[in-house]
Structure 1
Amino acid sequence: MTYVTEENLTDLAVERWSNIPDPRLRQIMTSLVKHLHGFVRDIEPTQQEWFAAIDWLTRTGQICDAKRQEFILSSDVLGISMLVDSINNRAPGAATPSTVEGPFHIANSPEVADGGNMADGAPGIPCFITGKITDIDGKPIAGAMLDMWQTDGDGLYEAQIEGAEGYMRGIYHSNPDGSYSVRTVAPIGYTIPMDGPVGELMRKTKISHMRPAHVHFHIAAPGYKSLTTHLFQKGCQFIDTDVVFGVKEPLIVEFIEHPAGKAPNGDIVDRPFYEVKYDFKLAKAAAAQKAA
């Protein structure tokens, strides 16, 4: 029998974790052991540092609930979420690029009619988002689902407001010609939650904890690769330092300011408002799979 030494421990652990019938799980676990051991050998943590890390992970789990996912947030700020997203969403170049879902998506948003207001009663400057959903060749996609969510004009998501339900989120569908029309309010740049373990860690750095102003979209249609992405406001001061590494150049859009008057959905607005125009292009499921 081979007994443990500092030098052979990694090899022994990898060998033991090779005893897994499922080949993919075996690949994952042996690689995990190798990289974790390599990390520990690199930094040589003290016992106190290791216990502090365990405590941080424990508290990260304890703060998670149905509306808050601190583990996703930790993955986001380390750039892991964007890396996983990029690996899993390789698509033809003409397709709209994806970006991270983030920790604030809530399932089963309310259905909103075309042109309807998903931000009714919310603070912020009125904002109208219009465009088309097409395939990569420009063919309209009818009935595509747009699941949308964002902050209000104060920089808050539903999950951050006690008792809020169906707030700043909604599900729309594209028309027969692929068009869609949304009324909302303009998002603003905001800080990630800083009252938990992730915020505690961020405060020990000089890294910006701000996200640029953006709107989230999850778009799906039968036969097409679903898309999770953002639209970012051009000129936002946090565009170049997004804390979750989510900004891709094709997703930066103009928020065009208009005076009070008739809006793109036909509403009469009694104050200045923004208009955003953007056409989303979806890859067919087979084409997306081939690109991967």
Structure 2
Amino acid sequence: MTKFIGTGVALITPFKSDLSIDFDALERLVEHNIENGTEYLVISGTTGESVTVTSEEKKALIKFIAKVNKGRLPLVLGIGGNNTSAIIEEIKTTDLSDISAILSVSPYYSKPTQEGIYQHFKAVAEVSPLPIILYNVPGRTSSNMLPETTIRLANDFENIIAVKEAGNNVHQYLELLRTKPDDFLILSGDDDLALGVALAGGSGVISVIGQALPKEFTEMIRLGIAGKAKEAYEIHFKLMPITGLIFSENNPAGIKAVLEALNISNSHVRLPLVEATDKLKNDIKLALAELAKS
């Protein structure tokens, strides 16, 4: 449980100009996060463009990141979707020897009822050899996993240990914090709300901007968990402009533009996503310059 308190980052998948995976950039990104305080790494999440990464590429990403990481940080792997039987099969056939937990998104597109969501995760929990972090992101799935469904799952399955809540809904966060079992983790999936969630009793965040600015972001979250609001908000206010910019067009185009400006990777994305506009790239460079002065 303590492995996932603090800041996890949803790693991008860097691409070369021919859109093959840029493993050199990925190594720089992993080392950048390990060296600057990130608590754990998330592979093949939404920010990793998981829907346009092939199954063979996904295996290669897992193997490569585990090799670079060398056991230094816990690794979380995204295995989710709207085909329950396919998810079960992927869990059964994936080499999970280097993985500490599975991040599983609530079923998208199909728009199941709350009972359907419960039965989906029940089936997943019953076959998973690893702890499961639920992932609720209604803006992408078109289906909101309500707090009562999350808490029902938390109470019924010991290996469902946390939820990454990304509904951008303060009331829903507070309801989860109010009703959760003592040992269940509420993780923010909204970078802009992460500090408030931590101060209210949350256990941390799975962040997008954190992978670019891990030193600042992890310190902010640690201060928030410790209840040091004044110090934490000083960092939060400095990060607000860049955090807002990365989501202004699409994710991960925004964070890839930041990482390009930091000379860690480039800004290539796979269709149907397109790169950040020149205007956004310029705005990001200006925001990073201002942040460096503060």
Normalising by the smaller structure, the TM-score range is under 0.3
| Structure number having the greater strand percentage | 1
| Structure number having the greater helix percentage | 2
Structure possessing the higher radius of gyration over alpha carbons: 1
